Amino acid sequence: MKEQKSMISSTLLLTAVNLLSQLMGFGCRIGISRLAGAEVMGVYMLILPAYGVLRAAAISGPAVAVASAAGQLSGGHGPGKPEAVLYAALKLFAGGWLLLSVPIVLLGDAISVRLLGDARTMLGLTATLPCLLLSGVEALHKQYFYAMGEIRTPAVIELGEQLIQALGALALLALFPQAVEEEQAALIILGSLGGELYSAVALHRAQRRLTGRQLPLNAGRLPGLNRRLLTIAVPISLASVLGSVLSAANAVVIPNRLVHAGLSVEGATEEYGVLFGMTMPLLMMPTCFVGALCTLLLPNLSRRSVQEGAADCRRQILHILKLVSAILLPILLCLNLWGGPLCAVLFQDQRAGDGIGLLSLVVLLNCWDAILGTSLNGLGGQRESSAVGILCGAVQLFLTILLTGRWGIQGCINSLLIAAGLETLLRWQLMHRLCSKACEKTAKRGLKPFPW
Length of the chain (residues): 452
Q: Write down the pLDDT at residue 439.
A: 60
pLDDT bin (cut points 50, 70, 90) of residue 77 is very low
Indicate whether 452 pLDDT > 50.
Answer: no
Closest Cα to residue 150, out of 354, 296, 344? 296
Q: Evaluate whether 130 touches 58 at the Cβ level (below 8 Å).
A: no
SS3 (DSSP) at 42: helix
Give the amino acid at 170: L
Question: How many Å apart are CA 443 and CA 437, to the nearest integer?
Answer: 10
Question: How many Å apart are CA 216 and CA 450, to the nearest integer?
Answer: 20
Q: What is the mean pLDDT of residues 115-130?
A: 84
Backbone angles phi, psi at 171, to 5 degrees: -65, -40
DSSP state of 181: H
Q: What is the mean pLDDT of residues 105-114?
A: 84
Torsion over CA: 29, 30, 31, 37 (sign): positive
> Angle between the 2-36 and 152-175 helix axes, to the nearest 10 degrees?
0
pLDDT bin (cut points 50, 70, 90) of residue 421 is very high
Q: Write down the pLDDT at residue 235.
A: 84
Indicate whether 419 pLDDT > 90.
Answer: yes
Q: b/e for 413-448, b at 16 or more Cβ within 10 A?
A: bbbbbbbbbbbbbbbbebbeebbeebbeebeeeeee
Q: What is the mean pLDDT of residues 18-44?
A: 77
Q: Write down the pLDDT at residue 137.
A: 94
- Of the candidate ranges 118-127, 160-169, 197-206, 263-272, the one whose mean pLDDT is the lowest: 263-272
Question: How many Å apart are CA 379 and CA 434, to the nearest integer?
Answer: 8
Task: Report the percentage of the chain scoring pLDDT > 90.
Answer: 23
Residues 334-378 pLDDT 10s: 988 887 787 777 766 677 777 888 999 999 999 999 999 988 887
Question: How many Å apart are CA 195 and CA 341, to the nearest integer?
Answer: 40
The listed range with the strongest mean pLDDT (265-269, 286-290, 446-450) is 286-290
SS (H, E, C) 76-101: HCCCCHHHHHHHHHHHHHHHHHHHHH
Closest Cα to residue 426, out of 371, 372, 382? 372
Indicate whether 221 pLDDT > 60.
Answer: no
Question: How many Å apart are CA 45 and CA 53, to the nearest integer?
Answer: 13
Closest Cα to residue 400, out of 238, 261, 244, 239? 261
Q: Evaluate whether 316 touches 304 at the Cβ level (below 8 Å).
A: yes
